[in-house]
Amino acid sequence: MTEKTYQIVVSGQLTAGAVLAQVKEKVANLFNVPAAKLDPLFSGQRIVVKKGLDHAAGQRYVAALQEAGLLSVAEPLTDDAPSSANANPQPVNAMPQPSLAPAGTPLIERTPVAAPDIDTRAYSMSPVGITLVTAIPVPAPVIDVSALSVSPLGVDMVKAAPVAAPDIDVSALSMSSPGTHLVEPPMVRPPVIDTSAFDLAPVGSDVDQQKPGVAPPPPDTRHLKLV
């Protein structure tokens, strides 16, 4: 069984939010070719940039181009079937064989930013421990307490209002002597039980006589023998 190979095809479509000038610069650094030679990739035509890749390598190419901002597709190819590039009526431009930049290579060269020129000659540093801002003293408030006085220790500050005892008429009530039943319990008649048919056995008698036991038959040992 022939193992499938893949080709990487682009049509100039960018990822969402990508800027064309930045994408061109990133792809040029990615393939390590001058940016001027990559203009056909962004012309809107179908371009095959790499062939003969296995599945893993094809996915790496697609991921690298997508990270740079250019959308691509890894199309499967077989030896006995014409490639989709030949079947498509659109023209396919020949491109130089690109190569991936080494790992760690910056895709975009950062423009150096010059340090700002700030004149600090008019400034100075105070010694350590110096108070930079002097706190403004706040005068103590003047409160007139001449009309106030302090009561001696233990004096109730608030007098509780007297509460009058309730006037309850108990002239119609009386108390019984200790031990008097306040409620007479109802009379309960003892039950009448006929015991004329019952009799007590003499002391030591067996109330329930046991039947004589029958010994079990001896086990059958005819099939046993001494060795």
Alpha-carbon span 97 to 91, nearest angstrom: 18
Predicted local distance difference test score (pLDDT) of residue 41: 85
To the nearest 10 degrees (0 to 180), the angle between helices 20-31 and 55-68 is: 140
For a pLDDT cut of 70, what percent of the chain falls above it? 82
pLDDT of the residue at 89: 38
pLDDT of residue 79: 56
First-to-last alpha carbon distance for the chain, in angstroms, is 75
Amino acid (one-letter) located at 82:
P
Class of domain 5-87: alpha beta
User: Structural domain boundaries of the chain?
Assistant: 5-87
Residue 179 burial (C-beta neighbours within 10 Å; 0-12, 13-18, 19+): exposed
For the stretch 11-36, pLDDT in tens is 888 898 888 888 888 888 888 888 88
Query: What are residue 34's phi and psi, to 5 degrees?
Result: -60, 145
- pLDDT tens digit sequence for 56-86: 888 998 999 999 899 999 888 865 444 444 4
Which CA distances in Å does 219 have to 83, 120, 171, 222, 226?
A: 95, 121, 98, 9, 16
Q: Which of 84, 57, 72 is nearest to 9 (CA)?
A: 72
**pTM for the complete prediction?**
0.36
Instruction: Go through 55-80 and write b for each residue having 16 or more CB atoms within 10 A of its CB, e for each that does not.
Output: eebbeebbebbeebbbebbbbebeee
Handedness of CA 55, 60, 66, 68 (dihedral sign): negative
